[in-house]
Amino acid sequence: MATTYGAPTGLDLSACSVTATGGTTSQTLADLGKVVGDNATAVTTAVTNATDANATATQASADAAAATAAVGNAVLKTDIGVANGVAGLSADSNLVIPCTAANNENPVLNFGYGTNTIVTGGSVRVVYNGTVGIVQDYLNWSNPDGSATFGRYLDGTVLTGRSSGSLNIGVSAQPVNTVYSKNAAVVTSDANLKTVAGYLGDASYADGQKLVAALATVKPVVYQLNDSIAEKGADKARFHVGYLAQDIEAAITKAGLDPARFGMWTKTALFTVTENKDGTLKQTATVDTSGNQQYIQMLRYEEIFPAVLAGVSSSLSALTDRVAALEAKSAGSAA
């Protein structure tokens, strides 16, 4: 069979020899076809291997970058619990903030710093994620009266210490200003918790007799607080009624008793608290120009009143007896 040009078709030329390189080495067309096919497969495999190698190299580069970042952000053991370091957890999973000379043994827990401080009306939340639900305690910073003085709000049902009598609100040198309460103070008065020394008004209790007589000599005064005068002026500072602690001290001492033995009177050393540049607080004793420690005296009025009332009751009882005796005498004379 031939083409239109007279060339034969359908011939088997695989056995024909050719020289592919132009040299003297010849090979059959069948062998040449196989070499060409093998080369095409090899090229495809090489391209695939190159692509895989490129992907591996890219991943290796990413892994190296991640490793570099991890090394840069790693927390060294020597950075735990030191200045400019990080806080650590103890073996029992408690957060540990060390007390060091750098913070004057008074570590500070800051909620926000610099431009990230808590805004007015914001709150710090302590979250307890238990099995029943999430309980949150709030410590809110706000100014409910519209003034520049912020209030610290504790939202909850109870503010208490870890054990009975372990928590004080304020100290003698830094008392709180005003206590607002819906109910009167409830004071422990269980007989099982007390050892009675004697009854006021009982003639057999000599010290009680002396105490009642001593307090009867103390005159209540009308006064203004010096801090209020300094803040508002003497014409606007309000008047208060009460006793002077020094008068109570003097009366008890004059009666031959030790005022320090009675809880109605207290005398405590004064101190001042200043803030260091790092935000920590420093407590310093308050002294006069001669370097002598200064003190503040205070009173527990709820303990003074029973003694005063005992004296009034005793006087009233004596007057009642005298009136009764006079009336009886008058009636006898009239008869």
* Helical segments of the chain, H only: 29-73, 206-216, 226-232, 245-254, 301-334
Q: Given this model, what pLDDT does residue 175 score?
A: 85
Take residue 259 and report the two structure tokens written for it.
């005022």
Q: Quote the DSSP letter at residue 260.
A: G
Q: Is the pLDDT score of 216 beyond 90?
A: yes
Helix (H, G, I), strand (E, B) or coil at 136: strand
pTM above 0.85, yes or no: no
Give the C-alpha separation, 259 to 267, whole Å: 10
Q: Given this model, what pLDDT does residue 148 score?
A: 46
Segment 239-262 shows an average pLDDT of 98
| Residue of 213, 297, 301 whose CA lies nearest to 255 | 213
Q: What is the CA radius of gyration of the chain?
A: 47
Q: State which amino acid sits at residue 246.
A: Q
Give the C-alpha separation, 223 to 227, whole Å: 12
Segment 172-200 shows an average pLDDT of 89
pLDDT digits (tens, 9 = 90+) for 21-43: 656 667 676 776 777 777 788 88
pLDDT digits (tens, 9 = 90+) for 45-87: 888 888 888 889 899 888 888 877 776 677 777 888 777 788 8
Q: Which CATH architecture best describes the domain 200-334?
A: Orthogonal Bundle (1.10)
Helix (H, G, I), strand (E, B) or coil at 125: strand
Q: What's the pLDDT band for 115 if we cut at 50, 70, 90?
A: low
Do 29 and 19 contact (CB within 8 A), yes or no?
Answer: no
Q: Is the pLDDT score of 10 beyond 70?
A: no
Q: Given this model, what pLDDT does residue 225 score?
A: 95
Take residue 332 and report the two structure tokens written for it.
């006898």
| Residue of 18, 10, 62, 54 whose CA lies nearest to 36 | 18
What DSSP string describes 105-160? T-----SS-GGGPPPTT-EEEEEEE-SS-EEEEEEEEE-TTSSSSPEEEEESS---
